Each structure stands twice: as structure tokens, then as C-alpha cells.
Structure 1
Amino acid sequence: MSPDGMWSIGELAGQAGVTVKTVRFYSDRGLLPEASRSSGGHRRYGPDALERLRLIRSLRTLDLPVPEVGRVLEHGEGLADTLQDAIDVQLRELGSQLTALRWREAALQLIRDCPAEERADRLRLVGRVSTPPSTAPMARFWRGALPVRLSSRLVSSILEYAVPLPPADPTPAQVLTFARLYAIATAPCPATDPRRSAGNRIDDVRRPDVLYDGLFDAYTLAAAGLKTNRAPERGQALDCFVAAHAESRGLQDSTEFRRRLNGLLSRAADPMVDRYWELTGELTGSPEPTLGAAHEWMRASLKTDVTAAAG
């Protein structure tokens, strides 16, 4: 340090072990203020410049962007909190990048290891999915399927079940399953649109919240039978299922209503929607039955009941 307690830009660079160009870069961006200028117009730095330069270098080592470094440096007393916020942002971004890399790796393995004759089709299928994968298309798919007047509470609950979160560290098989789900949700063909399903949206439903609250209760009751592979049957779950449909229309449960409802649900059956729920179960690997599986069990129970009543 010079007798006046100041460093030249070269001296500061030498003390910090960086290049003059680096010091000038941070100075020009306001991160490293100069204390004064020499008579010849050269930059001069005070004794605190070395510690500040070291701090800047440490922050940049964490890959914080230059503007974020500046924001941290501006908060002298609140440095710890500001630094924690900046690090949290970086960790979230890094997590997203790592997820994208894991998905890309699994996708490459999937395409590499599949039979040669399937490679082109799988490449097209997987290539449509962003990395990291987005669930927005599936959410739009189901939002469009639900009644407009359905409460936001129930919409959120249904989406929680219907839109599976992609694994952060997927296997190649999970990448393929997610890509197939994505393809169903984004297919332009009306045959894959769940809005065709009268089981989900029937024109004469007056109170959609009553219907879906009741369906959730019925599916919960049916879960025990599904887990034990019990055959569809009459009972409390079916009564709850039919009551939800009847009450939402301002009608009463009756043999005739069950016959009519069975016809509506049978005509509304959609193999592509069934496939969506099957893939959802494969992707999550959860022992809990999907809403789609529960709906099919209830529909089969209703058919059994109607057939028995007709006999």
C-alpha cells in the first residue's frame, strides 16, 4: 500500500490475486467504488477495497449474477439475510437445472435402449416434452373438462389427483409414461377430451359442487375394495355414488334413476381417459387407487346393481 494508504488498480489486483481487467470490470459496474483518482486520473482504492473485492469474488464463485451481487453488497447490516435470499434463489434454479439434466439423461437412455424400430416414434413422443417437464398441459386438459361453475376448492382438489408431479430423478420408463400422458393431454382429437365424459360433466347437473363432493366421498369408500381387488358390488360406496348424482340434479335415488345413470356412464366411457388414469398410476407408483380407477369400480358396481334389479 502506498504511503497515503491507497492502492493503485494494479496494486489492488496483485493483492487480491486477480487481473487488472477484473478489478476494472467490477469498478465499472459500481460494485467496487474507487476512493479517489491520482493527479494523472488513475483509480485509487482505499484499505477496505481488498476485503470488498474478496467478498465479490466469493459471491461470484457461488455463481450469483452481477446484479444480485450488487444487491447483496448494498445491504451492509442486512447482509446475512440478503445473502440467504440470494442463495435460496440460486438453489432453486440449480435444482431446476439438475432436474432437467436428469430427465434428459433418462430420455437419452430410453431412446438408446429401445428397439430400433421404435426409436423414431419414441423420439417424437419424448421430444414434445420440455425439460424439466411441465404439468401445465395436463392442468389445462382437466380444467377444460370440469364444470365452469365448480368451486375453486374442488378444482384444486381434483387437479391434485389428476395432474401427477413428474419425478425429480426419473427412470427411462417414467419418462416414457409421462410423455404418453403429455401426448393424451395435448392431443387435438376430441376423442381424447374428457369433456365428452358424461360421468364427469352431464348437462342436467344443477349443483356441480354437490356432485363432486359426493363423488369424493364415494371414491374414498370404494378405495378399500380396490386395494383388496374386491369385485365391484352393491353397498355403501355405490349408494353414496348414486346419491351424489341424484342430489346434484335435484332428483331422488330410484331404480329408474340408476338405470338411466348407468346408461349415461356407459355411453360416456372413453378408453383414452381410462388410459390417462392408468398411466397416472404407473407414474406415481402410489398404492392408492386413482380417481379414474375408483370411478370405473363405481361404474361397474352400478352396472352390476342395475343388471341384478332387472333380473
Structure 2
Amino acid sequence: MPDGRWSIGELAARAGATVKTVRFYSDRGLLPEAGRSTGGHRRYGPEALERLGLIRSLRALGLTVSEVARVLDAEEDVPGRTLEDAVAGQLREVGSQLAALRWREAALRLVGESPPGERAERLRLVGAVTSPPNTASLARFWRRWLPPRMPARVVSAVVEHAVPQLPGDPAPAEVLAFARLHALVSGPCTGGLPCQPAAHRSGGGYRPAVLYEGLPEAYALAASELLARRAPGPGEALDCFVAVYAAACGARSTPDFRRRLGGQLAADPRIDAYWQQAAVLFGPAAPTPGAAHDWLCAALDAETERAAVA
């Protein structure tokens, strides 16, 4: 044009876009107009071409039109800051999408590679899990399973140790393990037994907060024994384990207490199915608290049997 301004068609041609695209962004106030022709048609200057290139670049990164508008508005006040936030948000979204795709791929492989007789059941299990999955159902299970009125910091510590981190690139076996865990914690307690051990029930004289604050040390010592492939037996790990239970119920760690504790732990309801599946997600390098507890109970039983023979 003689005045150096372009029509909407000329701007579209220079930008390699369609007139429809230019009109769309212009109608939403994202493209600055340099004025109007005598016939009322829009006219644009060079700054509109630069702005249109920026808009298209932001849209190519996945930003919505409203997000693009916020970035353009903020560029005039705090250059770069809102763009950084928008890019960070897109990275999080893409990461979530990739994680979902990896879990879907592993789930498809799991179902596709399953024996015909197990395929329907596995399909039902993985179909009940969101993609990408999260461990909220596992955390809720532990918060329900623990005794009431426990200090929040103790509950958080138990949940942190008991709930496995989900792999970003899972194998089919890990997908199946998590699906089984999700089904397990989403269902009711069954089997005709109390759902919680004696230490959780009122009237037993236990101080659960003391118990659960002390157990991680005993479990860590037992985990070392497990990694060293040592058979359950007396030692620092067992002494620590018994001392924690004794402190929790205000007793002394006498031979009689150890004998009674062994009988109580043997009669307590167990959640072996949880730890069996969780072990797949924790991996072999990190014995689960459930495996450590089993080792310590076996060590206590072995000690009691030796004492009875002697």
C-alpha cells in the first residue's frame, strides 16, 4: 500500500498464513491494527507481522489462545516471566502425556502377552487404573489402616515408606503389580479377621505413635540382614524390634514379653498380598517394610523356639 500498511490478505501472504487465521487472531485482539482504510477494512503494519510470527510459535508449543494472550500482555510489563511459566506448564503437561503413553504401552503389552486364560482378568485390572496412574489410592489405604489420632508427621512417614514410587517407563509386570495393588486397597477387608493388628485396637495398652516412630529403625536393620542373605536370628535388628514394641506398650523386653509378642504377631491379620505386589515396584535393591517385618517375626519365633528347648 502507498502508506506502507498492509491489508489482511497481504499480511497473511507475508506470514504464510491464511486470511482466516489472521482474522481469528485479530478478532481476539492479539494482532495490533495500524488503522482502517476509507472503506473500513483493517490495515496492519510491520509490527503485526512480527506479532503474528510470535503467536504462531507459541501456538506450535501447545499454548492455548488465552495463554498466548497472557504471554503477549505480560511481555509488555515483565518480559520473559510469563513465557517461562507457560513453557514450564507445557513441559509438565507433555511429561504427563508421555507417562500416560508409556503406561498404556506397557498395559497393552501385558494384555497382549497374557495367557488366554488370564487375559480377561488382567484386562479388568488394568482397565480400573487411570492413565497415567497415581498412588493416591495406596496412600488412602494406609491412612485408613493406621490407628486413629496418630500424629500427622508419623502418618506421613509411614505412607512415605509404604507407598512405592511408580516407574516412569514401566514394564508389563510393574503395570500388573500396581493394578493388583489398586484393586486390593480399593476393596473391603475380607477373610473374617479384624482388618488391623492388635496394636491398632483400643484397649490393648499400646501407644501406636511410639510404635510407628520406632519401627523404621528396626526395619532398616532387618533390611541389611535381608540384603546380606542372613537367616532370621538374634541380633541388633531383633533387639531393636522387640524394644520398640516394649516401649509402645510400656513394658520391659523380658523373655516372657518376647514370647507373648511372638504369639500376638503370629495371630495378627496380615497384608502379605500388599507387600508381595509392592515388592515388584520397590525393586530387589530395597526390601519392603513387609519383608523386614516378616524377617523379624521369623527371628523372634526362632529365638522363642531355642529358649523353649533350652
Q: TM-score range by the shorter chain?
A: over 0.9
CA distance in 1, matches of 2:205, 2:166: 34
- From 248, 260, 278, the counterpart of 1:280: 278
Shift of residue 234 of structure 1? 1.6
| 2:80 match: secondary structure | helix
Closer, same or farther: CA 8–191 of 1 in aligned 2, 3 Å: farther
User: 1:206-285 to 2 correspondence within 5 Å?
Assistant: 206-270=206-270, 273-285=271-283
Shift of residue 57 of structure 1? 0.6
Moved more, 9-18 or 39-48: 39-48
Match of 1:24 in 2: 23
CA distance in 1, matches of 2:166, 2:192: 21
1:68 aligns with 2:49: no
Structure 1 runs (4+) greater than 4 angstroms displaced:
191-195
Shift of residue 155 of structure 1? 1.9
CA distance in 2, matches of 1:194, 1:181: 20
1:162 aligns with 2:158: no
Whether the 8 Å CA contact 1:184–1:192 is kept in 2: the answer is no
CA distance in 2, matches of 1:195, 1:19: 66
CA distance in 1, matches of 2:194, 2:239: 24
| 1:39 match: secondary structure | coil
Shift of residue 3 of structure 1? 2.4
Match of 2:52 in 1: 53
User: 1:1-311 to 2 correspondence within 5 Å?
Assistant: 2-76=1-75, 78-191=78-191, 195-198=195-198, 201-203=200-202, 204-270=204-270, 273-311=271-309
State the TM-score, normalizing by the size of structure 1.
0.92
Closer, same or farther: CA 238–75 of 1 in aligned 2, 3 Å: same
CA distance in 2, matches of 1:5, 1:192: 86
| 2:119 match: secondary structure | helix
CA distance in 2, matches of 1:118, 1:228: 36
Shift of residue 195 of structure 1? 4.2
State the TM-score, normalizing by the size of structure 2.
0.92
Instruction: Name the aligned partner's letter for residue 136 of structure 2.
Output: A
Whether the 8 Å CA contact 2:275–2:290 is kept in 1: the answer is yes
Shift of residue 191 of structure 1? 4.4
CA deviation string 1:231-276 (max 9, x = no partner): 2112222221111112112222222322222222111142xx1121
Whether the 8 Å CA contact 1:38–1:44 is kept in 2: the answer is yes
CA distance in 1, matches of 2:33, 2:285: 64
Moved more, 20-29 or 38-47: 38-47
CA distance in 2, matches of 1:115, 1:212: 42
| 1:48 match: secondary structure | helix
Shift of residue 206 of structure 1? 4.5
| 2:240 match: secondary structure | helix
Shift of residue 229 of structure 1? 2.1
CA distance in 2, matches of 1:98, 1:191: 40
Identity %: 57
Closer, same or farther: CA 107–192 of 1 in aligned 2, 3 Å: farther
CA distance in 1, matches of 2:299, 2:290: 14
Q: Kindly tell me the number of residue pairs found equivalent between the two proteins.
A: 307
Closer, same or farther: CA 180–219 of 1 in aligned 2, 3 Å: same
CA distance in 2, matches of 1:57, 1:131: 30
Alignment gaps of 5+ in structure 1:
none
Closer, same or farther: CA 261–19 of 1 in aligned 2, 3 Å: same
